[in-house]
Amino acid sequence: MHNAAYDRLKARFARIAALGEAAAMLHWDASTMMPPGGGESRGEQLAALAGLAHELLIAPVVEEDLEIARAEGEWEEANLALMEHAHARGTALPTDLVEATARANSACEKLWREAKARADFALVRPALTEVVRLQRETAQALAAALSMGPYDALMDGYQRGITAADVEPVFAAYEAFLAEALPRAEAIQAAKPAPVPLPGPFPTELQRALCRRLSERVGLDYEHARLDESLHPFCGGTPADVRLTTFYDEKDASKALLGVLHETGHALYERGLPEAFARQPVGDAAGMAVHESQSLIVEMQACRSDAFLGFLGRELRSVFGGPAAPYAAENLAGLWRHVERGFIRVDADEITYPAHVILRFRLERAMIAGDLEVADLPGAWNEALHRMLGITPPDDARGCLQDIHWHDGAFGYFPSYTLGAMAAAQLMKAARAAEPGLDAALAEGDMAPLLAWLRRNVHGKGSLLGFQDLLRAATGKPLDPQDFIDHLRARYLA
């Protein structure tokens, strides 16, 4: 009887996961293929799927089966515990709130695209106000069910086991480091010869072919993946059918190339998840901070390393031609590890990027707490960025409209970016210690030693371990921000 109950739960959660996969494909299509007039209909489709999945999760039989189910073995026990956690989150939320949230997010996202293009916050403000209202309602309901603060309850949906109280001291310490390190990095950079721009133009078709080839070289199997274009690069789809997107600029090939390498890191994680637990909670990724660590260990730690840049320069020159000097590793490092106080998070360097995340973390916490109204967001954003980096956005497209996340209802997500960057540095340090030939392999464009280590220590673990325990198992310690700071000092301040 006990095993039968657990088997019923596994079947139900597999069905919930399949509905989530269908929604993921609809989200991908909305960003890549859907005509503009399809937005309202797509919102209803996503709301229907969200409602169906939610009803499956909160059905009375789930609680009954959870009470009597027993699981044997470490993986099965972890799977059952994750089912219980998902059920607790699900039963805290009425289905009409789940569906209303899905509709509001979809409607706001579509308006955001137009508002960003026009740099007109007023256009999306009413829709974003509704999104925030529903997020506050969701946060309050989850907080009561999970015995945690409202914002922590939203964070829990993206990265289990990490709270605002965990993040605050890490971010405060980074702010102190930034105040000292940023001026030093700028001075060191200014004392060096300016890097030589790569000779363009860079035809889109050549970029597209190069991006796919390098993504494959890093380890992605395109029998189970595809690469398309969207306004905001992302990795979506399912572990068996991964969808990557990027955008191309014929004046600057680095945007697409580095973006695809970043998204390939996400895709490799999805492809490496344990197949034996596909569509089960324990077979999912371990959270968004872990996910971000996998994109950044590929893009920032490996592909922007001195070793890999030599290989990458040769690849670029073979495609786009021109003199050798611009493609030298030292020159690419000057171009692609350039430190600058900029307005745009996705274009930020490693040193200033956490400042953008800290800004968003504080603003979204204030919005969820009711201490910041949506109407006041542009001014609060500009003030915070000036305080952090000493610059003020010239318009809202380069300010509070630049990201899709809040307009799509993703509150509690932003801390994962910097926690992921810190975890990536910690994991790379451990990988180098375990694989002494790793950098020699990177110099030949060979990511296999790093990928094999990640498969064993991260990808293949699924959600068996939480964020901190995963790091302990892989590196011997929980998150240690000092590894990230040591990495930045070696790369930018030496």
SS3 label, residue 60:
helix
Ligand-binding annotation for 386, yes or no, is: no
Task: List strands edge to edge, sheet with 235-238.
Answer: 225-229, 241-246, 235-238
Q: Angle 39-58/74-91 helices, nearest 10 degrees?
A: 120
Which is catalytic among the residues 130, 263, 270, 364? 263
- What is the DSSP secondary structure assignment for residue 408, as one 8-state letter? G
Which residue in this structure is represented by tokens 């597999």? 14
Which residue in this structure is represented by tokens 């790569």? 198
* 173-202: burial string, b at 16+ Cβ within 10 Å, e else: ebeebbeebbeebeeebeeeeebeebeeeb
Ligand-binding annotation for 356, yes or no, is: no
CA-CA-CA-CA dihedral for 114, 115, 120, 121, to nearest 10: 160
CA-CA-CA-CA dihedral for 223, 229, 234, 238, to nearest 10: -30
Which residue in this structure is represented by tokens 């999912």? 284
Beta bridge mates, 228: 245
Residue from 398, 394, 405 nearest 363 by CA: 405
Residue from 177, 190, 171, 235 nearest 365 by CA: 171
Peptide linkage before 201 cis (omega within 30 of 0): yes
Q: Count the neighbouring beta carbons within 10 Å of the beta carbon of residue 343.
A: 19
Ligand-binding annotation for 137, yes or no, is: no
Phi, psi of 241 (to 5 degrees): -150, 75
For residue 81, the one-letter residue type is: A
Which structure tokens are listed for 290?
């872990």
**What is the DSSP code string of 97-125?**
HHHHHHHHHHHHHHHHHHHHHHT-HHHHH
**What is the DSSP code string of 423-473?**
HHHHHHHHHHHH-TTHHHHHHTT--HHHHHHHHHHTGGGTTSS-HHHHHHH
- Residue 70 Cα distances to 6, 79, 253, 277, 466, angstroms: 6, 11, 54, 17, 21
Residue 263 is a catalytic residue: yes
Give the residue ranges of the annotated binding site for Zn(2+): 262, 266, 292
Binding site, by residue number, is 262, 266, 292
Q: Hey, which residues are catalytic here?
A: 263
